[in-house]
Structure 1
Amino acid sequence: MMLNSCVTLTPREHGLYSKVGKGDVPLSHIVDQENRTAWITEKVNLAKSQFMDGINIDIEQAVEEGSPEYHALTDLVTETTEAFHREIPGSQVSFDVAWSPKCIDKRCYDYVTIAESCDLLFVMSYDEQSQIVGDCIAMANAPLSQTLDAYDQYLNLKIDPKKLVMGVPWYGYDYPCLNLSQEGICSIAKVPFRGAPCSDAAGKQKTYKWIMKQVNISISGRLWDNEQQAPYFNYKDQGGRIHQVWYDDPQSICPKADFVKARSLRGIGMWNGNILDYGDELVARQETAMMWNALLGC
């Protein structure tokens, strides 16, 4: 069975970087112990052959609490960590989790046991509009208050803060507006997702590089939402349709980085490092430097 695998560079202590593989597998497949062991063995052997430092398990499938898949996922993390630590001393096993532990996207995982089993949880504090249960409108990818409250939810589960890495988005969402009200509210198409009537799937993900170019030719220029603590702008496409783009920039990321330090979390990361503008143009270089610096806090 061919399984998804890629290489990711992740920050580690003392300014060093680790090269880790990415692991994903259908949970129905690894309910069977034999299949699960085979998957782990394959990943360990791959890591050894490629001189990797560990694995990032990125499984974002819906799981019902108490189901066979629920227990299989927990066992997968535990057994993967044990195997990597045994076969590759000093290796790191991380697991990607949703921005909140409250069954986001129906991902009802055993977060406490998983956190105890692996080296760290990478909290994906983005795509927070994947399930919109209120008005179908464009909103921030990672509203500040909602984002930070979710970390308190993880910490209230007695998860060690040193197991939590905050992931911030270096991309945004471009929403075609069905209607743009006088107050600037952009109504979006109803695209259901995992039980919610609306979702950010009504928009398209856009890189920070694209956003920085588009905002300069937008009809509104950069705007700021005080409630969500996030920037956005409006533009017209070639057909005359109005779009609203929500994203994160240094102003919205800095307070999140400050929170990481204030709560003594493990660290901060981004998705992903290659979507900034690394060209030679002076303005682009400045914008890119500011995004990297924002990870250090305000």
Structure 2
Amino acid sequence: MVDVSTLYIVPTPIGNLGDITRRALSILQQVDIIAAEDTRYTGRLLSHFGIMTRTLALHDHNERQKANILVKKLMTGQNIALVSDAGTPLISDPGYHLVTRCRQVGIKVVPLPGPCALITALSASGLPSDRFSFEGFLPPRSKGRKDKFTEVAQDPRTLIFYESPHRIINTLDDMLEVLGSERMVVIARELTKTYETIHGVPLGELVEWVSEDRNRIRGEIVLLIAGYRAGEDYLPLEATNAVALLAKELPLKKAVIITAKLFNVKKNTLYKWGLENLQ
């Protein structure tokens, strides 16, 4: 039985419909309303399981407005299930404002465990899972992505991003420029589906692997990046940009000495980069 005046956070499958739990099906069957990111998408899921519960759209563009409406319904004794298109609501999906409003006014919020792409990918990645940082979707433009990679380049935790297939090649190129070719990166796509792929190699090799077959970038993508380890020959983007600029006016060795002092990086590493990229 569901409780009255309760908001249920209900994860839904990220691909394989068999991953939905019996508890999730029971909740979706019994609540008064299902708040869904896309009612058409959720409607297909509900139809598959023979669930006739009324749905209401709750997405990024209307959440603030609809949150107040749903809270009023909850306060009259109705119960509501929140779902996203796939996976766990609020994880790079709508729901934050609704949950916050409910907690502010004392409405009971009950989370159900279930599918989540980032956790599914992490568990099979082979990267350290004791500490990780989920960073959501990357910026759509190259500069924004490079800035983000520069920001997290020395983070020791495993880093997890979501990315769309039409941007993945450019994203990997930007990552390569900032993080270098040796950083271990895992690409996980189509998780739980027929063509599920989880492939992890040094970034330089991954860029080549992806470019060999366009099918390798189809579907929903999770990117996992190994955390920074002390002693790695890391060069921040600002340092490589600076040495490239100075090398236009100075001998490479002189440009390297100045840049290494400014950015506290290894001269040998910077000089090697200069020989490979500026000569």
Give TM-score, length-normalised by structure 2.
0.29
Greater per-residue strand proportion: 1
Highest RCO, 1 vs 2 (Cα 8 Å, sep ≥ 6): 2
TM-score, normalised on structure 1?
0.28
